[in-house]
Amino acid sequence: MKIALVSPYDFSYPGGVARHITSLYHHFTLMGHEVKVIAPASGAIKEFGDSFIRIGKPFPFPASDSVIRISISMHLAPTIKEVLARENFDVIHFHEPFMPMLCSAILRFSHTVNIGTFHAAQGKPGYNWGRPITSWMLSRRARKLHGHIAVSKPAMDYISRYVPADYEIIPNGIDIQHFRPDVKPLEQYQDGKLNIVFMGRLEFRKGVNYLLNAYLEVKRQMPNTRLLICGPGTRLKKRYEKWVAQNRLEDVIFTGMVSHEDQPRYYRTADVFCAPATSRESFGLILLEAMATGRPIVATNIEGFANVITNSKEGLLVPPMNSQALAGALLTLLKNKEERLQMGQNGIITAQKYSWEDVSKRVMDYYEKIIERERQKRSSRWK
């Protein structure tokens, strides 16, 4: 089967959709399929060789307390038509299929089986910008989508308000060979201090400001602790660093962006992994990655996180935007090594259910189901 995996987002910039597509690419290729990745990119993409097709130049735009990097060019049609005619895909799999501009444009010109995966649980553009024009455009594009996948129930609930359909819930997966409990932690942080680790982009909705306030109390009660904040974000990093200095808060380290290769080592360095997001998380991928390395979790009790973690089993869930509750949960685990170890073991077991081997097979089975359904539809029309 010849498959196109299409992302509207800058493939040079880290993100959950890019990781999702990359994992599908590798596992589908191992299955023997021919796979191409189509996306805008601001930098060189070497991982896929000739299997990466760059279309569009991405630009950053603020959206939903985050920043999306997408192409907004209105002149992609000639390139898209040439690529589709040359490649003759059996399936085109769009990730956020109505996101401007690349996914929406390819969907417009595609004449093969089109399948969409919806990752967002709230607030993504493409659905409610510029009404009524976007409502009319969404209706036209939605008719061209043959299969509908959501990565979680929150994602399904969100998109179904705009595009009612029969959705298949297929979660994100994790590479359990990459994120595993026998990875070595980072030596420079193995000095006897207990490490709290945050991993994610420095955006307001990720809740680092609440974590820093919580750490003030943690540090007061347990001086022998350290907070590692891992992730890109220049503007908020400077603001957070200034706040840390003003409050004379010691042992807070901003690592910047962490490579995919080093992420398991940072997870493994954590005595507690903390995800204090405020909202708009459709799926707790970072929680699963940390759990796969055997780390206990403290996270906010938002729907996307609560779908993958059970309170008091793999970790502790606390109300969002509540620094006091966050500090209390962190202190509970930091003071109880036995509980941390038990939750870490529970997390390893839970994470196994989300291996990319299983998830990619479920996606492929769904392709085959939709292809056969569309074939039968065409056959019945000729009778």
128: Cβ contacts below 8 Å, ≥ 6 apart: 134, 162
Residues 340, 360 within the same domain: no
Residues 207, 218 within the same domain: yes
State how far the Cα of 100 lies from the Cα of 91, in Å rounded to an integer.
Answer: 20
Residues 122, 87 within the same domain: yes
| Residue 88 binned pLDDT confidence (cut-offs 50, 70, 90) | very high
Residue 181 covered by a domain = no
Residue 363 covered by a domain = yes
Residues 254, 122 within the same domain: no
Report, as an integer, the average pLDDT of 334-342: 98
Residues 300, 373 within the same domain: no
The pLDDT score that the predictor gives to residue 137 is 66
Q: What is the pTM of this model?
A: 0.86
Residues 198, 114 within the same domain: no
The pLDDT score that the predictor gives to residue 140 is 77
Residues 330, 364 within the same domain: no
Residues 254, 344 within the same domain: yes
Residue 225 covered by a domain = yes
Residue 178 covered by a domain = no
Q: What is the pLDDT of residues 154-178, one digit of tens each?
A: 999 999 988 999 999 999 999 999 9
Residues 217, 277 within the same domain: yes
* pLDDT at residue 133 is higher than 60: no
Q: What is the pLDDT of residues 24-47, one digit of tens each?
A: 999 999 999 999 999 999 999 989
In the chain, the number of structural domains is 2
* pLDDT at residue 70 is higher than 50: yes
The pLDDT score that the predictor gives to residue 135 is 59
Most confident residue range from 10-14, 157-161, 222-226: 222-226
Instruction: Decide if 352 contacts 176 (C-beta within 8 A).
Output: yes
Residue 286 covered by a domain = yes
Residues 319, 368 within the same domain: no
Q: What is the pLDDT of residues 251-278, one digit of tens each?
A: 999 999 999 899 999 999 999 999 999 9
Residues 335, 375 within the same domain: no
**Residue showing tokens 């994992």:** 23
- Strand bridging mode 66-70 / 91-95: unpaired
Residues 15, 129 within the same domain: yes
Residue 263 covered by a domain = yes
**What are the φ and ψ backbone dihedral angles of 150, each rounded to 5 degrees?**
-125, 145
- Residue 294, both tokens: 């055997």
Strand order in the sheet with 113-118: 52-54, 34-39, 2-6, 91-95, 113-118, 147-150, 168-169
Average pLDDT, the chain: 92
CA proximity to 148, closest of 122, 115, 172: 115
The pLDDT score that the predictor gives to residue 39 is 98
CA proximity to 194, closest of 278, 296, 276, 292: 296
For 238, 240, 265, the CA distances from 244, given in Å and listed in that order, are: 10, 6, 25
| Residue 65 binned pLDDT confidence (cut-offs 50, 70, 90) | low
The pLDDT score that the predictor gives to residue 123 is 57
- End-to-end CA gap in the chain: 27
Residue 179 covered by a domain = no
Task: Tell me the residue range of the domain where 194 lies.
Answer: 187-353
| Residue 125 binned pLDDT confidence (cut-offs 50, 70, 90) | very low
Q: CATH number for the domain including 55?
A: 3.40.50.2000
